[in-house]
Amino acid sequence: MFYSRHGPAPSARAVGCVRRNNEAGVAAGKAAQMQMRASSQGLSGPGKVALTGVCFDGSGRARGQAHAPQALREAGLLAALAGRAVLVPDVVVSRPVPDRGSFGFLNERALLEMVAAVYDRVRTALDSGHFPLVYGADCAVLLAAVPALADAAGSAALMFIDGHEDATPMEASTTGEAANMEVAFLLGLTGKQAPEPLRSLAGVLGPEAIVMLGMRDQHYRREIGAATIAGLVRLLTADDVHADPARAASEAAAQVASQAPGWWLHIDLDVLAGKEFRACGAANDPSMPGGLSWAELTTVVSSALRAGGCRGWSIGVYNPDLDPGLYSAGQVVNFLAAVLGGRA
Ligand SMILES: [Mn+2]
* Predicted pLDDT of residue 215: 98
Those residues with Cβ within 8 angstroms of residue 29's Cβ, 6 or more apart along the chain or in another chain: none
Distance from the alpha carbon of residue 325 to the mean position of ligand 1, in angstroms = 24
Q: Which range, of 22-31, 50-59, 155-164, 235-244, averages the lowest pLDDT? A: 22-31
pLDDT confidence band for 24 (50 / 70 / 90):
very low
Q: What is the mean pLDDT of residues 279-291?
A: 88
Q: How far apart are the first and last CA of the chain?
A: 43
Nearest CA to 316 out of 182, 137, 175, 53 is that of 137
* Predicted pLDDT of residue 281: 84
In percent, the amount of the chain with pLDDT more than 90 equals: 81
What residues are neighbours of ligand 1 (ion), with CB under 5 Å?
139, 162, 166, 268
Q: How far is CA 260 from CA 42, 160, 206, 311, 313, in A?
A: 17, 15, 11, 11, 16
Distance from the alpha carbon of residue 96 to the mean position of ligand 1, in angstroms = 20
pLDDT digits (tens, 9 = 90+) for 179-232: 999 999 999 999 999 999 999 999 999 999 999 999 999 999 998 889 999 999
* Predicted pLDDT of residue 83: 87
* Predicted pLDDT of residue 29: 35
* Predicted pLDDT of residue 7: 34
pLDDT at 27 over 60: no
Q: How far is CA 58 from CA 176, 228, 340, in A?
A: 9, 23, 27
Distance from the alpha carbon of residue 180 to the mean position of ligand 1, in angstroms = 6
Those residues with Cβ within 8 angstroms of residue 83's Cβ, 6 or more apart along the chain or in another chain: 342, 344
pLDDT at 289 over 80: yes
Distance CA 282, CA 217 (A): 10
Q: What is the mean pLDDT of residues 113-141?
A: 97
Q: What is the mean pLDDT of residues 233-261?
A: 98
Distance from the alpha carbon of residue 29 to the mean position of ligand 1, in angstroms = 37
pTM exceeds cut of 0.85: yes
Domains assigned to the chain:
12-340 (3.40.800.10)
